[in-house]
Amino acid sequence: MAKSPVVDQELSAVLNELWKLDVNRLKPGKDYKINLQGKADFVSQGTNSARDKASAPLFSYVNEDKLKSIASYACFIKLLDNYEMSTGVAEKVTSEELQENHLFLDAILKTEVMKHTHKYLVSKGQASSDIATFKKQLYDIWFKLYNRDRRGGADSCGFEHVFVGETKYGKEIMGLHNWVQFYLQENLNVVDYKGYKARNKDTPDEDDHVLNLQFSWKGLVKPLGSSFIGVSPEFEVALFTIIFLKSNEHMTKTVVKVDEYLLEIVVCRHGHSIGTSYPKMLSSSNRDM
């Protein structure tokens, strides 16, 4: 028998509080519908062909009007086209894009999810109680450009990697762990969902808010990706920020129980910024019945 992972209870309690406060989380079957289809095959990293076990897109419906009517999503969507896809190509940030970064942070800081996160981080001595200082801290964690590829200028940041996705030398997909970006890229016909990834007993269902999956993006295959589905941008920023600030290790892996999901959350740092962060679904209690 494999040892069951040790769950971080304190962190789980905080994240469940945030889960309850996430009023902007979309409702599966109502605000959006996913179509899981087949289970994807094993594909080794760097292979750019995968058998397609899903002939239709992952998202069969998303209420875009609802997305655009919620400030944090509307500001988030504006950010998605601000980045150069390939590492090694320096990012040119316009003043308008800088403004969009700030508007996004302003929008999420107004949500109960981020207010609670701020209070929690202050109580742990990991953030200043001054809101402007906290916003600058978030900016540096998520938007400060750094050099991921030694050949070029500052070509990446945490937000781009996690939420937008980028490619390494144009040969391998990195990041792209966000469901809104996935849906929008499917609509543009540049993302092709290949099927879900799961252990035998743990087949996902259409109501799951976390999914392990395989897909291709602009012709490159991601053998195993993972993403929250339907959750708000502020929930993801909150969760990954809390785990990022929890430790100075290069890589932090934490097991938490959020709602019905047993998750491993992985956060890697790049100096004082996020290098990558993503959830990995371990199991869901509604299937252990």
Residue type at position 122: V
Active site (annotated) includes residue 222: yes
Query: Of the residues 118, 177, 197, 257, which is catalytic?
Result: 177
Taking Cα atoms as reference points, which of 42, 79, 267, 49 lies closest to residue 175? 267
Active site (annotated) includes residue 161: yes
Query: Of the residues 118, 135, 197, 222, which is catalytic?
Result: 222
Query: Of the residues 118, 135, 161, 257, which is catalytic?
Result: 161
CB count within 10 Å of CB 132 equals: 8
d(CA 141, CA 241): 8
> Rounded to whole angstroms, what are the CA distances from 147 to 66, 98, 117, 151, 275?
36, 18, 29, 9, 10
> DSSP state, 272?
T
d(CA 183, CA 59): 6
Active site (annotated) includes residue 272: no
Residue 224, phi then psi, degrees to nearest 5: -145, 110
Beta carbons within 8 Å of 236's beta carbon, 6+ residues apart: 162, 163, 178, 228
Q: State the catalytic residues.
A: 161, 177, 222
